Structure 1
């Protein structure tokens, strides 16, 4: 006897409801709480569903090495905290790594100790060289692209997106220079952000800028749900942190240096807030007076997690460790062993799962070393806090 599709669908729905009511799920709550703190829905603290980042280095030429290092160090931190390349738009002149004056070809360092090559981790530059213009930046924010613009050059955010914008370069009172050729004003950026809000292109926006008189660049914002911070007040310069005498130039700015130093102790599930970051600002060490603007945000910085902007948002299904695996799950487990996935949620210990993953990669010839040597220097994906001399 064959039932109509509608009848079969109703029977399946009824069976699912009965099963859902009879299978206990209390054991899942502690595991989810451990993973996400008080957030047991797998969402970020404010309920947004995705994060995006726009990283802009508006300088070019060798003597602006530190601005490229600022941007690449921020890029590396975003990726370490879980944000995928597909959600990061990187605008970079990209003219220092292979510059003839670089004594360490194809590298960019943010510390004179050269503990970490910021250029050696498979970076993806979306706007390169002379593509980094005021027009391309404003079009990126507002989504007003030529139809031929590829997906990788678009900010595909929506009303549920938290957007992080980082800018560094040379600036002044209410302007930022782009490659010594043109300028973007505080009014331009404010109007572009307003278009983003009207077009439902963000849920919350975090704006960080490191340049001379940086705080004037967010002084014209008038759209809702914005938190902004800058490196220096009106009339102040923004200073580099230190020079590398081998490279011959400054390798990072002070404001960005101390932000990234703070981030090095954070993990993907950190509950650290923006207020805790802002409280670390020390004008005596930065040599300028950083600014903070929170009046446009309905949430105070003490209620906003850093990972609400610096990281990825993901839904996670946790399986009970005592559950017996059916044939399909066992096949998936074997597949994960060969691909290097962490199979701890499927009932295998974390260490054993990682061991199986590495062995599977070796068998398939696709193993990627956790550490790689380059010209006597080591490159690490994880945080360097606690390693010899760190990297800051």
Structure 2
């Protein structure tokens, strides 16, 4: 929602009052005599140094200067308050250039060093992900000023070492859509970099657009450094607005070169364009482009103090300041109260509770001493940083609950802030994980009076279970398939009536934390035990599915579905998807057209009585809709045509399950006789970040009267 802030002159006056209380803060910017300038500051009897590593993009001279002076400013603030004190603390900073370092090697070098108290940075989410893998093992505090990938934050929730100082880009995506809506744009497209940063926008754009009543025109990915082709495709349909998520600032110029400023399409850029290097590299092309960027809450006074001190407006510097500030306050607690675990100290000062106050400006010496006094008496409240209140969720830690976004425009080669936005409470059920939990409203409506088709008596039940990916990083797809297989076995299926297809490469994988076993929850049972796998994924192609479903047995395909017109067939598919395709392994796919041909063939050959597909992939609806018009077939999907499905249950840097499937298995285990309407409603509520969809209800039968008992009953005659 848009924030109504006080008049800027009032903010300026308040800030000046704070600054006047501590004139020395700005003395470096004030006029002084040469004699005064040579007076050294009083030297403390002892300075307690704590070594930290700071990883930032330092190749650009201007960026390097901004990083170094921002960290030095935070150091100076704490120094002024502790000078002469036996508890005087400072950071012994090691600088690393994010642009040139090998991140994999750097992670190994830094994460396990016992003399290093914390790592600040890197700037980019994809680099934070690399460093986080090792810090998760060593539990080294990793304080990320700007990392905003939702998957990165969720993967390390509750691990207690990652401290991200901005909300996830779920909130930024919502803000961009809200700005487009304010300008009455109703048909919107997205172009985003194909990396962990762009993925959050890809994951949430269509879902949020659906909830906000916006029509999705296109969702496109591009390889970093090569946005031209995707940009041309995005503009070809002339959407009313195009949200641009550049992987690197250098991509902004390439995007702008494809855009005709006279066209009706309005461009809105994400925060990667909110950098002075964009103005420098784009020149006149950048004039009047607009976008969103994370910024300091204007009520903190940081923007004005920064401009007074350095003579220019900041962009994201408040977050680097807070990273250094938070680290300094943490080591101050260690110095005063003892201990060696910086994560514990940070938790004391950032976990939101009823004692939190929101006294803006408390990052400056005039008010900060009160917080430091509280540390001495071990009376902790959340810190107030340069960017805003540094309050973290008390259950998951990981990232701040609320951020401020500015809506900016480049005007006369400067960033002009048009207004400020937050997303506090707008569409969320709560603030957990900073925007992950959305209240969904776009539920499908079904006809309770739908006429029921006539079906023959039920004879047998068959099931096909497919995990269509392979490799350790895709653990969840095979785990979910195995768990669904175990559900079928518990409901009376024998292995002759289940076709299980998966690569079978995770139980024995070298990375397996419990060799030979597979789980969908850390405290669950082994779903691999006793599993009879009929085919490895790599042994088949999508074309083989026609023969398997049609019962065409051969030496190469000995296991098939021998069903007839009195048999129900249940299909569970878990894997990856892209628009119009369910992916098969690394290089093949099962397309919308192949699905349509398969459904039509099965219908013509009378190979089923009823058939239900449960599909857990991204963009599942774009393939599942192929069943529409075919009698007796229904598809229930984890995601709509333009949406991605979401992983769930993070454990030891891997996802154990998917949200839709985990909820599905829980519901079917508890209520195997549940009606399709109740199942849909339950999954709709519990599946976060996508809209569960049902396709072809009218040619299948009422979801109110049809139920899962037909597929999961223990015996046919029950």
TM-score (norm 2): 0.35
The 1:157–1:52 alpha-carbon spacing in structure 2 relative to 1, beyond 3 Å, is: same
Q: CA separation of 1:93/1:302 partners in 2, compared to 1, >3 Å: closer, same or farther? A: same
CA displacement 1:262-314 (0-9 Å, x = unmatched)? 112135xx4x2122111112356421111112434342122222121124543
Mapped partners of 2:636, 2:499: distance in 1: 20
Equivalent position SS for 1:184? strand
Q: Map Cα deviations across residues 331-353 of structure 1 (whole Å, 9 max, x no partner).
A: xxxxxxxxxxxxxxxxxxxxxxx
What's 1:143 paired with?
551
- The 3 A distance-change label for structure 1 pair 198 and 251 is same
> 1:129: Cα distance to partner?
4.4
What is the match of residue 217 of structure 1? Answer: 623
Map 1:1-392 to 2 at 5 A.
47-113=457-523, 115-120=524-529, 122-146=530-554, 148-149=555-556, 151=558, 153-221=559-627, 222-245=629-652, 248-266=653-671, 270=673, 272-282=674-684, 285-315=687-717
Q: Secondary structure at the match of 2:583?
A: strand
Separation (CA, whole Å) in 2 of partners of 1:312 and 1:216: 33
The alpha carbon displacement at 1:187 in A equals: 1.4
Q: Which range moves more in the overlay, 276-285 or 66-75?
A: 276-285
Q: How many residues align?
A: 263
Task: Work out whether residues 58 and 168 of structure 1, in 8 Å CA contact, stay in contact via their aligned partners in 2.
Answer: yes
Q: Deviations over 1:140-179 (max 9, x none)?
A: 1233443x2565x111100101111111111011101111
Q: Secondary structure at the match of 2:691?
A: coil
Cα distance change of structure 1 residues 48 and 284 upon mapping to structure 2, 3 Å threshold: closer
Determine helix, strand or coil for the equivalent of 2:683.
coil
Provide the C-alpha distance between the structure 2 equivalents of 1:74 and 1:86, rounded to a whole number of angstroms: 16
The answer to whether the 8 Å contact 2:622/2:642 transfers is no
Distance in 1 (CA, whole Å) between partners of 2:679 and 2:526 is 25
Structure 2 gaps, min length 5: 1-454
Contact 2:615 2:637 in 1 (8 A): yes
- Secondary structure in 1 matching 2:518: coil
Is the 1:65–1:250 contact (alpha carbons within 8 Å) kept by the matching residues of 2? yes
Give CA deviations for 1:222-271 in whole Å, capped at 9, x if unaligned: 321111110111221111112112xx30000000011111112135xx4x
CA–CA distance in structure 1, aligned partners of residues 597 and 714 of structure 2? 27
Match of 1:16 in 2: none
Q: 1:214 deviation in Å? A: 0.9
Distance, in Å, in 2 between the alignment partners of 1:149 and 1:275 is 40
2:572 and 2:485 map into 1 onto residues whose CA distance is 10
Give me the whole-angstrom Cα distance separating, in 2, the residues matched to 1:141 and 1:157. 8
- Is the radius of gyration larger for structure 1 or structure 2? 2
The question of whether the paired residues in 1 share the 8 Å contact of 2:620 and 2:637 is answered with yes
- The whole-number CA distance in structure 1 between the counterparts of 2:557 and 2:539 is 14
Query: Contact 2:462 / 2:568 at 8 angstroms: preserved in 1?
Result: yes
Pair 1:129–1:194, CA change in 2 (3 A): closer
Separation in 2 of the partners of 1:173 and 1:81?
Answer: 34
Residue 190 (structure 1) shift: 1.8
Secondary structure (helix, strand or coil) at the match of 1:59 reads coil
Q: Runs (4+) of structure 1 moved beyond 4 Å? A: none
Q: Aligned pair in 2 of structure 1 residues 299, 256: CA closer, same or farther (>3 Å)? A: same
With structure 1 as the length reference, what TM-score do the two structures score?
0.64
CA distance in 2, matches of 1:150, 1:217: 25
Greater relative contact order (CA < 8 Å, ≥ 6 in sequence): 1
Displacement of 1:50 in angstroms is 0.7
